[in-house]
A and B are shown apart, each in its own frame.
Chain A
């Protein structure tokens, strides 16, 4: 009985939508090319492979498979993995010290500091990304600054390259990285740190042997929480760097879902991406499980 809300949530927001997406991805087209979902799993189809010599393009799951091989989806997929990895690394470099500082040295101002960290996020994602476009414009404030500083030269940030995109991802998602990490760092038992000091470990060794291992779960949770939405992100690309050189897999999904004739392929892409992410999730759950067994 107590599990009912959870079960209802899972059915309503996971099972049914996943089933509907599968029904579209593995469905058929009507006479006019509009998608027609097939609800009976025994009649699901894998779609059609492309026959380039005859000018026949693939669709559904087979079309996605072809696209992964010929680069239509493969290149954006690789790029997405690369950008998300870079953005996660940067989130870690920026987020860890911030979370560490707030948890360890925040003192009574902790609430204020957390509030300040979150304050920019009262503004819509759209506005914050467009603000970056203004900052990075050829005559924007970033270049104004570079012009003044010795030894640095302004450059064209918005030339369609990946720099503003990765920057946008980091800026957009870093608070979601900091918060779980802060919670983990905050939970570390101070007596462990005192014990470390009593045993003549310096700050570096204490960090390395106590703080970092104790915050590993938080780090992993932060990485998962930020990586999952980043993998599906498409509007950061659209807003700051809408060039083909930085197309992510989310953009290809968006492209196909926008036109009725491509919705089957779009839905199949969603399924493939979700499967990939499920593998990542499984690793995370296995890791948490192992850790709780070790400590418990």
Chain B
């Protein structure tokens, strides 16, 4: 399972509680999670067949589990119940929606996609709107947890980049509309490194450079870390299940550990400004958000971000969907459409730091309007990045075990 930029493992109290919870769940069988897995008891589980796994070259039209809401209905009164990552939507945007529709929006947060899936599967919460990542869509639809969309309620879908308006993971936008896009690259301290990533023969070699021993950090995520080692070797399929390639990546990662004694975190936005990290594998949003964490005497120009200028790195996108059996399906559609409005998307981005894939919001405009400093232009995602980039997608169960085992071996440090 890929780690999401909104998971904040080391610093957020919420995340801390979640993990303690995870351990407790392990120790005394957290009733929610396990209850939902019951072979015969689970309400929706019974219908769960194998999930289709989409790839850019193997686009998927998700099967319709239901009829969409009919045309021409008025939005319900609400309140609208939204299920989202913590701190993943601008509260002011929510207030605007409430005013415009004369309703209330109630946000419930989750900390990882697995946790969210378990909760939806157990049927707790009565949510209207959910924010899934593309890798779990197949499984969510196979279990009948998402409602098909009626696009007549979603005219703003035309604002979205063409590549994501009819994406490979959900042909025809049957269940989802895009929310944000981001890349995984190299965050670094321009004032602390002798050579910038682009000055290496292979930019990823910066992670293996002994000069940064004790100051090199990787993302705390199996898919990101092993995926990076694969990219360095020129393997462009970051979803490969070839055991030889994974074994090779593992060997090189252990060499990396030998050379620089890497540490793992998912908070580059904080480790780079504080100087704890000189080099940190990072998400584009980390580089943009770092300015909120700069100590006195550190300038935003001290933070650098590298992503392959010609494309071809790890890239990600998030989506918004309507939950099946939602009490307010029409209002939910209006909410999706509202978030796709250009002004609303921009207002949301100002707070969020993760970019909406809107046609009108191009890199030049973001830099010119001061959303992103000029030297961090590389942290802005362009539509064409999706042509060459690799999205971390759902692996087969066997493939997932293969990646898990390799990462556990890396983590063991032996």
Contacts and interface: CB of A to CB of B under 8 A. Distances in A.
B43 interface: no
B411 A251 contact: yes
Interface in B183-219: 213-214
Contacts of B401: 33, 57, 59, 261-262
A218 interface: no
Interface in B374-414: 396-398, 400-402, 404-405, 407-414
16 contacts: A19-B29, A24-B37, A29-B397, A55-B402, A56-B398, A71-B409, A75-B413, A76-B413, A138-B275, A160-B214, A234-B23, A242-B220, A243-B262, A245-B261, A255-B407, A258-B19
Nearest to A78: B414
Interface string A6-17: 000000011011
Interface stretch (B45-53, B91-99, B126-134): B45-53
B28 A71 contact: no
A257 B402 contact: no
Interface stretch (B8-16, B57-65, B331-339, B350-358): B8-16
B41 to A, nearest CB: 10
B264 A257 contact: no
B16 A247 contact: no
**10 tightest A-B CB contacts, nearest first:** A20-B29, A55-B243, A17-B28, A33-B397, A244-B413, A75-B414, A57-B405, A71-B414, A159-B214, A261-B400
Contacts of A252: 408, 411-412
Contact of A75 (B118, B398, B412): B412
Interface of B: 1, 9-11, 13, 16, 19-20, 22-23, 25-29, 34, 37-39, 45, 48-51, 112, 114, 117-118, 139, 142, 213-214, 220, 222, 242-244, 246-247, 257, 261-265, 274-276, 396-398, 400-402, 404-405, 407-414
Contacts of B408: 67, 72-73, 252, 255-256
A126 B27 contact: no
B276 A73 contact: no
Interface in A32-62: 32-39, 50, 52, 54-59
Contacts of B48: 30-32
Contacts of B407: 255
A2 to B, nearest CB: 25
Nearest to B34: A20
A39 B247 CA distance: 36
Given A20-B34, A32-B48, A159-B214, A261 B397 contact: yes
Contact of B263 (A14, A17, A74, A243): A243
Contacts of A56: 398
Residue from the set A54, A59, A76, A243 with the largest chain B CB neighbour count within 10 Å: A243
Contact of B34 (A24, A58, A137, A247): A24
A259 interface: yes
A130 B270 CA distance: 13
Nearest to B114: A260
Given A244-B410, A244-B412, A254 B19 contact: yes
Contacts of A159: 213-214, 261
Contact of A33 (B9, B142, B264, B400): B400
B402 A57 contact: yes
B142 to A, nearest CB: 7
A240 to B, nearest CB: 10
